[in-house]
Amino acid sequence: MWRLPRALCVHAAKTSKLPGPWSRPAAFMSTLLINQPQYAWLKELGLREENEGVYNGSWGGRGEVITTYCPANNEPIARVRQASVADYEETVKKAKEAWKIWADIPAPKRGEIVRQIGDALREKIQVLGSLVSLEMGKILVEGVGEVQEYVDICDYAVGLSRMIGGPILPSESKTCASALIEQWNPVGLVGIINVYGWNNAIAMICGNVSASWKGAPTTSLISVAVTKIIAKVLEDNKLPGAICSLTCGGADIGTAMAKDERVNLLSFTGSTQVGKQVALMVQERFGRSLLELGGNNAIIANVLYGPLHTKQAVSMFLGAVEEAKKEGGTVVYGGKVMDRPGNYVEPTIVTGLAHDASIAHTETFAPILYVFKFKNEEEVFAWNNEVKQGLSSSIFTKDLGRIFRWLGPKGSDCGIVNVNIPTSGAEIGGAFGGEKHTGGGRESGSDAWKHYMRRSTCTINYSKDLPLAQGIKFQ
């Protein structure tokens, strides 16, 4: 799901606003990883030294040029020209026009386009997974798994395109000559900040267009590469490219999306802090938002991992370790930055903290495990639920009674409640999301598709009378 970036704007190295490669010294260009033989596979994705970060049927971009770096060695990979606010305005206008075409296409036919997108991603799964690993820092198998997840949700969306719809409900009309139905229609323009695959595949089969996808600036190459694959599918089917638009950018683009009344639904994945800002901006215009925010899951630490995404993340790791010590914790393993290139840190285990220590309730994107001893089931269930985040949780037990108490009303209050499996990852057939400060939004399976549609309750009278509900008569 490409979940590392959790802010409206993650700072990346900025360079000149001049649009062409001539604004960079030749020696500097040669140091880019994309120009080194072992990274020639990047060009299989259509990437170059300088990449345009705006797509709305044509490629462009008039914003700042940023450099993305590999967190495994902090070497520059390539550059992406970001969107300006003017680019965003142009993109939304084109998306509105594209929606007029897309919404008229029957849902199963829209599903066929999504199927082709899934197949196109499947063909590039290894090289795309390698890019996720290179630019984000995930281990390779997990990078490939992220792409596979997008492919899987495309497959799911294809089937869903023939199933979405509302029920026919019993009418209370005494004439028996009326029908009560639910009609579901697309919301229109969907803005996506960060996590794209889960949102876009479902939004598309529902009849929406992605008015703008704004990934994190530090992973702009992934955004560009994925959009190039999708754009080819749309082009082959003679459909407007603005059905799936891209606007790489920073906080200015994210803010424009949140405040834009033309964006009928804004899906935001990120930190709780930034999510609050997004929610307020969207609510101020009575808009609709889908929030998937902080996690802070209670479970185990995986010792197979890559580097942290940025140098800032390394600083946050060190800060969390020091704060844990100040609050009475003991580092029994790890706690240090590894002496090697890149943003690698040691897996860390901390004991001795109180269950309500502030650092234990703080989401830190780093391999830190806080270990607590508890007396009984009731106590530990309460500890699980006392944190403000409510994304995912898991228990390991063979006790059937404990399992169902864990799943019940006095058990875990998270959106994902697992038994005997870790909290990482999720099956696409179920709704993904969390409660409390995690935002309450749901993506992927179950009835999450309803987020991307608007519901109308329709009473159709086909008699010659004019019956009213509750038997009301005007004498």
**In which band, very low, low, confident or very high, does the pLDDT at 463 lie, cut at 50, 70 and 90?**
confident
Q: What is the pLDDT of residues 66-94, one digit of tens each?
A: 999 999 999 999 999 999 999 999 999 99
Angle at 382 between CA 380 and CA 387, to 5 degrees: 105
Q: Indicate the burial class of 316 (C-beta count within 10 angstroms; 0-12, 13-18, 19 or more).
A: middle
168-169 and 178-186: which strand pairing? Answer: antiparallel
Q: Please say if the pLDDT value at position 321 is more than 80.
A: yes
- Specify the CATH number of the domain 43-167+185-293: 3.40.605.10
Give 211's pLDDT tier (boundaries 50, 70, 90). confident
Per-residue buried b or exposed e for 420-455, using 16+ beta carbons within 10 Å of the residue's own CB: eeebeebebeebbbbbbbbbbbbbbbeebbbbbbee
Least confident of 2-11, 196-205, 382-391, 427-436: 2-11
CA 471 to CA 85: how far, in whole Å? 55
Q: What is the pLDDT of residues 389-434, one digit of tens each?
A: 999 999 999 999 999 999 999 999 999 999 999 887 788 899 999 9
Which residue carries 């946050």 as its tokens? Answer: 316
Confidence of residue 304 (pLDDT cuts 50, 70, 90): confident
Quick one: tokens of 328?
A: 């009475």
Residue 16 pLDDT: 40
**CA dihedral sign of residues 463, 465, 469, 471:** negative
Model confidence at 14: pLDDT above 80: no
**Percent of the chain predicted with pLDDT > 90:** 82
Domain with CATH 3.40.605.10 in the chain: 43-167+185-293
Residue 21: the pLDDT is 41
Q: 24-34, pLDDT tens digit by residue? A: 454 455 699 99
In 10 A of CB 94, how many CB atoms? Answer: 20
Q: What is the mean pLDDT of residues 369-388?
A: 95
Task: Assign 106 a pLDDT band (cuts: 50, 70, 90).
Answer: very high
CA dist 300 and 129 (Å) reads 25
Question: At 294, is the pLDDT very low, low, confident or very high (cuts 50, 70, 90)?
Answer: confident
pLDDT at 152 over 90: yes
pLDDT band at 297 (very low <50, low <70, confident <90, very high): low
- Mean pLDDT (the chain) is 91
The two three-digit tokens of residue 158, written as one number = 């294809």
Please state the three-class secondary structure of the chain as a single string. Answer: CCCCCCCCCCCCEECCCCCCHHHCCHHHHHCCHHHCHHHHHHHHHCCCCEEECEECCCEECCCCEEEEEECCCCEEEEEEECCCHHHHHHHHHHHHHHHHHHCCCCHHHHHHHHHHHHHHHHHCHHHHHHHHHHHHCCCHHHHHHHHHHHHHHHHHHHHHCCCCCCCEECCCCCCCCEEEEEEEEECCEEEEECCCHHHHHHHHHCCCEEEEEECCHHHHHHHHHHHHHHHHHHHHCCCCHHHECEECCCHHHHHHHHHCCCCCEEEEECCHHHHHHHHHHHHHCCCEEEEECCCCCECCCCCCCCCCCCHHHHHHHHHHHHHHHHCCCEEEECCCECCCCCCCECCEEEECCCCCCHHHHCCCCCCEEECCCCCCHHHHHHHHHHCCEECEEEECCCCHHHHHHHHCCCCCCCCEEEECCCCCCCCCCCEECCEECCCCCCEECCCHHHHHEEEEEEEEECCCCCCCHHHCCCC
Buried b or exposed e, range 320-339, using 16+ CB within 10 angstroms: bbebbbeeebebeebbeeee
Position 11 pLDDT exceeds 50: no
Distance, CA of 241 to CA of 230 (rounded, Å): 9
pLDDT score, position 296: 73
* Mean pLDDT calculated for residue range 164-189: 89
C-alpha to C-alpha distance for 61 and 67, rounded to whole angstroms:
15
pLDDT at residue 299, as a whole number: 56
pLDDT recorded at residue 17: 40
Q: What token pair was written down for 189?
A: 């323009």
pLDDT confidence of residue 29: 57
Instruction: Return the higher-pLDDT residue of 181 and 466.
Output: 181
Structure tokens at 452: 């991307």
CB of 255 within 8 A of CB of 278? no
